[in-house]
Chains A and B, each alone.
Chain A
Amino acid sequence: GAVVSQHPSWVICKSGTSVKIECRSLDFQATTMFWYRQFPKQSLMLMATSNEGSKATYEQGVEKDKFLINHASLTLSTLTVTSAHPEDSSFYICSARDRLAGGFEQYFGPGTRLTVT
């Protein structure tokens, strides 16, 4: 149980275009989802916290107009990288918290590798 999927697993896009990444909780409902960014050989940095039905809370230094987050249902959150540039190339990971299980455990998706050319 507690499976989180991400789609796509990898994507290549041209500079200036937008890319949408989906994060789904497959077998549980997630009122809260988190989006992280991981640079090569570095740790995960939290970008934003997404709550179903409300606006995302962004971490300091993260441009909310560039990284659009939508959490429209209890099983789906999306991250859209708008007007992507090569410096946005990274590994994006989402996680979700099980609404019914209680506790604080987060379940992580497999990540999406974004390459902007």
Chain B
Amino acid sequence: GNSVTQMEGPVTLSEEAFLTINCTYTATGYPSLFWYVQYPGEGLQLLLKATKADDKGSNKGFEATYRKETTSFHLEKGSVQVSDSAVYFCALSRYGNKLVFGAGTILRVKS
């Protein structure tokens, strides 16, 4: 079946540090890939997405590239801020159907 594996957290970084959150997936065919962010006390928000191999999704300084050869969609940001502290979920969807989420990674950024 389809599944998503994320690196375990929490990840604790100092402000302006480089961020990588690993995400790999298992799926048949060519799923669409997503990163969602959940700020404390809020619902999930779509951060970025990619719908085909080699696509790069980007938003708010975050980037992720759809790598079919390694079945990965790692999230990166060059310089994190305290306001980036949140839970990040990697997810996939096939044919626009249900989303399959990874376990989520807590990010804590210290000033």
Interface residues of A, Cβ cutoff 8 Å to B: 4, 6, 34, 41-46, 49, 93, 95, 97, 103-111
Contacts and interface: CB of A to CB of B under 8 A. Distances in A.
A104 B52 CA distance: 13
A76 B30 CA distance: 32
Interface of B: 32, 36, 42-46, 49, 89, 93, 95-104
Kindly name the residue among B45, B89, B96 whose own CB sees the greatest number of chain A CB atoms within 10 A: B96
Given A34-B98, A104-B96, A93 B44 contact: yes
Given A93-B44, A111-B43, A106 B102 contact: no
A46 B44 contact: no
A106 B43 contact: no
A97 B46 CA distance: 13
A104 to B, nearest CB: 3
Nearest to B89: A43
Kindly name the residue among B43, B89, B103 whose own CB sees the greatest number of chain A CB atoms within 10 A: B43
